[in-house]
Amino acid sequence: MRAHGLTPALTAVCVATFRAVGVDVWTRPCHRMPARRLSADVHQPLFEHRLRLAGVETRALELLGDGPPVLLVHGFMDSADTWRKTLASLAASGRAALAIDLPGFGAADRLVRGEPVLPQHDAVVAAAVEQLAEQGGGAVVVVGNSLGGCAAIRAAQRTDLPLAGVMPVAPAGFDHPVWFRAIEGDALVRTLLAAPLTERLVRAIVGQAYRQLAFARPRAIEPTVVRAFVSHLHTQRDVRRALATGRTLMPELADPFDLSAVTVPVRLVWGEKDRMVSHRGSRHLVAAVPHLSYDLLPGCGHCPQLEEPARFAELLEAFLAELAVRAG
């Protein structure tokens, strides 16, 4: 293949690099879909549909089941697809769950330009919590990875939301701004922004950067995981827009929490080999929130729900069981 704007030699180097590391490039146009049933469990299907939360139209993956309902919130440049393995585990145990695309990512509406990012995410998360509770599931458990972990903690600061507990997973906001420097400084990302590229090469480069940055064992990650991450990126403009969002987030993430306001139970999960957000940031949460339990996963990177899905599912089920006991 030859990308527009690249010399044959540079194209050959790119192609050889991707093939050597086993990158499987996948292209599929992102489109709005009606509600449709996906395979999660024979007795508890997963539905993909559109919904409006706080005035934002977004995509959702939803399981109908027993409470407490679980709200799953993804990280920077990611989407609800990051939770498919977790949703499969929740389906097997009959849980109710909802995974959403945050504004500015996945198949959700774009962020409002010129407005702070975190409050826009907060509004959507709060609306999702309220909707799940109103549907009869009772108090909600919010699980969030990275930027979604930040949203989970910020939700826990509020006294007006029906929350049973939160599970932040490698939450952003405690190791500022290492994670974004890692993204912008990555050699593959710099290559991505240097010259015009085809959609195929954009996705290949982003996918390889994702493998290297998000996981402790990049070669062990299934191609389907990478495909899901890049499926909502089509052009370099999409990547530049996401990076611009990251720059906007930097000052917001310098001091995003009021940890003294957190009163619900917290189960913190972090990968010991996280390259994006160091687990050393956990000390701030552990010191400030007495009703917190903490699991550090050896040999795991930034996305335990993908790199250690079975172990992560066990931790989530244990937390849900603990909350059920607390609720009586």
Give me the pLDDT at residue 136, please: 77
Provide the percentage of residues in the chain whose pLDDT is more than 70: 83
In a domain, 277, yes or no: yes
pLDDT value of position 195? 74
Instruction: Give 321's contacts (C-beta < 8 A, 6+ positions apart).
Output: none
- Cα gap 128→287, rounded to integer Å: 29
Transcribe 142-210 into DSSP letters: EEEETHHHHHHHHHHT-SSS-EEEEEEES-TTSSTTHHHHHHHH-HHHHHHHHS---HHHHHHHHHHHH
Q: How far apart, in whole angstroms, are the C-alpha atoms of residue 154 and residue 118?
A: 9
Supply φ then ψ for residue 290, to 5 degrees: -70, -30
- CATH of residue 301's domain is 3.40.50.1820
Instruction: Tell me, yes or no, whether 214 lies in a domain.
Output: no
Q: Residues 160-176: what's their mean pLDDT?
A: 93
Give the pLDDT mean for 211-231: 95
Question: How many structural domains compose the chain?
Answer: 1
* Residue 267, beta-bridge partner list: 293
Q: How far apart are CA 20 and CA 23, in angstroms?
A: 8
C-alpha–C-alpha distance, residues 166 and 145, integer Å: 11
pLDDT for the residue 93: 93
Q: Does residue 209 lie in a domain region?
A: no
What's the pLDDT score for residue 117?
98
pLDDT over 90 at 236, yes or no: no
pLDDT tens digits, 253-275: 999 999 999 999 999 999 999 99
In a domain, 291, yes or no: yes
Confidence at residue 183, expressed as pLDDT on a 0 to 100 scale: 66
240 part of a folded domain: no
User: Cα separation of 137 and 165, whole Å?
Assistant: 14
Task: Give per-residue pLDDT as tens, 171-181.
Answer: 999 875 565 66
84-125 confidence digits (pLDDT tens)? 999 999 999 999 999 999 999 999 999 999 999 999 999 999
What pLDDT score does 53 carry? 98
Average pLDDT, stretch 187-198?
A: 74
- Quick one: pLDDT at residue 180? 66
Position with higher pLDDT, 241 vs 117: 117
Residue 198 lies in a domain: no
Of 167 and 247, the structure prediction assigns the larger pLDDT to 167
Q: Note the pLDDT tens digit of each residue in 6-59.
A: 333 333 333 333 344 343 332 222 333 455 555 555 457 899 999 999 999 999
Q: Which domain holds residue 72?
A: 33-176+253-327
> What's the confidence (pLDDT) of residue 178?
60
Check residue 5 and give its pLDDT: 36
Q: What is the pLDDT of residues 270-318, one digit of tens each?
A: 999 999 899 998 999 999 998 999 999 999 999 999 999 999 999 999 9
Write down the pLDDT at residue 202: 87
| Residue 230 within any structural domain of the chain | no
pLDDT attached to residue 160:
97
Residue 137 lies in a domain: yes
